[in-house]
Amino acid sequence: MTQLESRLLDLMREDCRLPLEKLAVMAGATPAETAEAVAELERNKVILRYAPVVNWDRTDRDRVEAMIEVRVQPQREMGFDAVARRIYQFDEVKSVYLMSGAYDLLVLVEARTLKELALFVSEKLSTLDTVTGTSTSFVLKRYKEDGVVFEDEHNDGRLVISA
């Protein structure tokens, strides 16, 4: 990755809606170089998607989230990747990670209601023949996500003018 690409990632991670011209100025490159670098990041699948960080608690949508610790029995010629692949294809599954420690996969699941989510675990996840056990924890409150704090922002307590 070039230094420009690295700078752009840092800037866009904070705000991916900055106009190209501003991004270019801040990264110290021309708009053309910047556009090319961003395109390269997209082509190489470094940048996969531009999506907002949403505080769903401030919407009127029903939504429950859970983190499910999954223990699996990896099968011959079908390691963890194959199991993960089977799991991540469910629409309910938002994220899947292979973990070190007491369990193997961490699965983040989202559904409209508790019942829906429970059904997903009991009927879809637990029934996979490679899954040997699950432990489900529901998310009660989100404080911070992707570096964004959900509680009211820290106020700028600095003096308005100082030397």
Partner 1 sequence: MNYERFLNPAIAAVPPSGIRRFFDMASSMKGTISLGVGEPDFVTPYHIRDAAITSLLRGETSYTANRGMPELREEIARYLEGRFGVGYDPATEIVVTVGASEAIDTALRIITGPGDEILVPEPSYVSYSPSVIFAGGTPVPIVTTRETDFRLTAEAVRAAVTPRTKALILPYPNNPTGAILEKDELEAIARVVAETGILVLADEIYGELTYGGRQHVSFVSIPGMKERTILINCLSKSFAMTGWRVGYACGPAPLMDVLNKVHQYAILCAPRPSQAAALEALRRGREDNYADVRKMRDAYDARRRLMVDGFRAMGLDCFEPLGAFYVFPCIASTGLSSEEFCQRLLREKNVACVPGTAFAPSGEGYIRCSYATAIEKLNIALERMSAFVKEIRG
**Nearest CA among 72, 74, 64, 153 for reference residue 106:** 72
Query: For partner 1, which is the closer residue by CB, 15 or 60?
Result: 15
Degrees to nearest 5, angle at CA 28 with 45 and 36: 35
Question: Could you say whether residue 156 binds partner 1 (CB under 8 A)?
Answer: yes
For residue 124, give Cα distances in angstroms to 46, 91, 92, 117: 31, 11, 10, 10
Question: Could you say whether residue 111 binds partner 1 (CB under 8 A)?
Answer: no
Question: Using the rule CB under 8 A, which residue among 51, 53, 140, 163 binds partner 1?
Answer: 163
Question: Could you say whether residue 155 binds partner 1 (CB under 8 A)?
Answer: no
Residue ranges with strand state E in 14-160: 64-72, 93-98, 105-111, 131-138, 144-145, 148-149
CB of 27 to partner 1, least distance (A): 7
CB of 39 to partner 1, least distance (A): 20
Residues 3-62 touching partner 1, rule: CB under 8 A, are 7, 10-11, 14-15, 18, 22, 25-28
CB of 141 to partner 1, least distance (A): 21
Question: Using the rule CB under 8 A, which residue among 51, 102, 140, 159 binds partner 1?
Answer: 159
CB of 7 to partner 1, least distance (A): 7
Q: Which residues bind partner 1 (CB under 8 A)?
A: 7, 10-11, 14-15, 18, 22, 25-28, 154, 156, 158-163
